[in-house]
Amino acid sequence: MLTRLAQLWRGEQPGSARSVGGHQDEEDEDELPEDFCDPITLGCMQDPVLLCGTGQVYCSTSLRSWLATGSRTCPRTNLELRDVELVRLPSVRGRIAAWRAQHSLPQLPALDPPPDVVQAAGRGQEEGEGQGEAPPLASLLADLRSGDVYKRGVAAGRINNMLIEWGRQPHRAERAQVMEAMLLDLVWLLRQGNPYGSGVAAAALAQYDHPSCSTAFLAAVAACPAVALLWSPHSYGQHSAARLLAQLARATPSMPEVLVEAGAVRGLLQQLDLRVPFQYNRCSAAAALAALCKHAEGRQEVRRGGGIRLLKELVLQAEPASEPECGEHLIRFDKRDASTCLLALRLTADEVAQSPLIDLQQLRSYSHCSRAWLLGHVSAPATGYSAEEVTAGLQLRAAGEAEEDGWDTDEAEEEPQPGG
């Protein structure tokens, strides 16, 4: 009955041929069971997933398209979800496959890319780092989905190294297909893995920054577990979570508000405290906070958490003499992103003058520094620009100055909180 109503709504005649999962079938002969019908497309589900917050079942493809728009509502119940958790339902998919076979309908398409595509994607990754031959990509995918959580974490660690290497090479379509296929498996490990597994899953997901990847969908399903990972007992997990959040915070206009409400600010601020040893650079946490400061409540949370002092100290920290003259100076990345965050905070004159004293012009210089300075090739942040950086820098400075001009009116309703 549901499918006949759907046909009438589309202007079709009941009993006419219609698409079931992308295939033309006879509606009067093959009535699609309601349990197999996707609530969004009203077609046959191919990869059923459970939306945990509401208990509704959707086809993964259509739900991903829905979430990729930035919406965080359940299409069927219209309930807004802060944390979007999806669970694949292989048993339901098996029932759908059996029903299709019973009615002589085409088989469901495979969830993974064809073996030749997987093989092509993994080509060039034969050699592991000091470990002889690396496992084939197909084997890594199998381990990522195994019932052993430890084995999943080991596979995710190898996959993270592989994705880092892929990021240094020209984009290849077959690799994008493989990344798409394992995204939900990495998100599962981010949520359910041990501290190591969750950390490497977050690090791998942070590599999903290519334009072909749906950052809005990734933000919907990974943002809240990434915030939880900020409180991991291991610094690697905290660092990986900050890297992922620095990317997700810019995914949609509403994402800063979601992350602030989830408690991201306090978790990120703890990484900025120079009094607490932290074996990784702190720039990812500062970059994530800069994105959250686009939201008024984010700026207030940073102030309430004493973030202004922490960020100032990060900007003013001395560079160790032991760092190589040529090579990445990690402290300079910290200075750049901490400066960007302080500018995003829209500091008042009193906040600028509070100890430790900083200079706004120096903040702008660090925020718009050259790549050559970050790499240690020049000694001053405002020197060594490439031609592309000169063009981009002029645009960024113009945008920043225009934004600063509106601070007085934008911040009229915001009372800076003590503790900065």
Q: Which of 52, 71, 102 is the last residue of a domain?
A: 102
When mean pLDDT is compared across 11-25, 56-70, 90-104, the lowest value belongs to 11-25
Q: Which of 213, 238, 256 is the last residue of a domain?
A: 213
pLDDT at 136: 87
When mean pLDDT is compared across 10-19, 38-47, 222-231, 376-385, the lowest value belongs to 10-19
Residue 362 forms part of a structural domain: no
Residue 64: domain span: 2-102
pLDDT band at 203, cuts 50/70/90?
very high
What is d(CA 404, CA 376) in angstroms, rounded to the nearest whole number?
30
The CB-side HSE value for 27 (13 A sphere, CA atoms) comes to 19
User: Cα-flanking dihedrals φ and ψ of residue 340, to 5°?
Assistant: -60, -40
Please check whether residue 105 is in contact with residue 98, taking contact to mean a CB–CB distance below 8 angstroms. no
3-state secondary structure (DSSP) of residue 56: strand
Q: What is the mean pLDDT of residues 324-329?
A: 58
What is d(CA 191, CA 229) in angstroms, rounded to the nearest whole number?
9
Residue with tokens 């759907």: 6
pLDDT at 27: 39
Question: Which amino acid is located at 179 in the chain?
Answer: M
pLDDT at 10: 47
**How many separate domains does the chain show?**
2
Residue 315 forms part of a structural domain: no
Please check whether residue 181 is in contact with residue 215, taking contact to mean a CB–CB distance below 8 angstroms. no
97 and 143 together in one domain: no
Characterise 266 by phi-psi region: left (phi > 0), alpha (psi -120 to 50), beta (else).
alpha
Residue 64 forms part of a structural domain: yes
Q: Long-range pairs for 111-118 at CB < 8 Å and ≥24 separation?
A: 111/47, 111/181, 112/141, 112/181, 113/174, 113/177, 113/178, 113/181, 117/174, 117/177, 117/178, 118/174, 118/178
77 and 123 together in one domain: no
What is d(CA 252, CA 67) in angstroms, rounded to the nearest whole number?
11
Q: What is the mean pLDDT of residues 318-344?
A: 83
List CB contacts of 76: < 8 A, sequence separation 6 or more.
39, 54, 56, 58
pLDDT at 5: 42
pLDDT at 126: 52
Q: What is the mean pLDDT of residues 276-281?
A: 92
Residue 61 forms part of a structural domain: yes
CATH (domain of 88): 3.30.40.10
Residue 272 forms part of a structural domain: no
Which pLDDT tens digit goes with each residue over 44-89?
999 999 999 999 999 999 999 999 988 899 999 999 998 999 999 9
Residue 68 forms part of a structural domain: yes
Which pLDDT tens digit goes with each residue over 138-192?
899 999 998 899 999 999 999 999 999 998 888 889 999 999 999 999 999 999 9
When mean pLDDT is compared across 138-147, 298-307, 330-339, the lowest value belongs to 138-147
Q: Which of 186, 213, 240 is the last residue of a domain?
A: 213
Q: What is the mean pLDDT of residues 116-127?
A: 78
- pTM of the predicted protein model: 0.84
Q: What is the mean pLDDT of residues 117-130?
A: 70
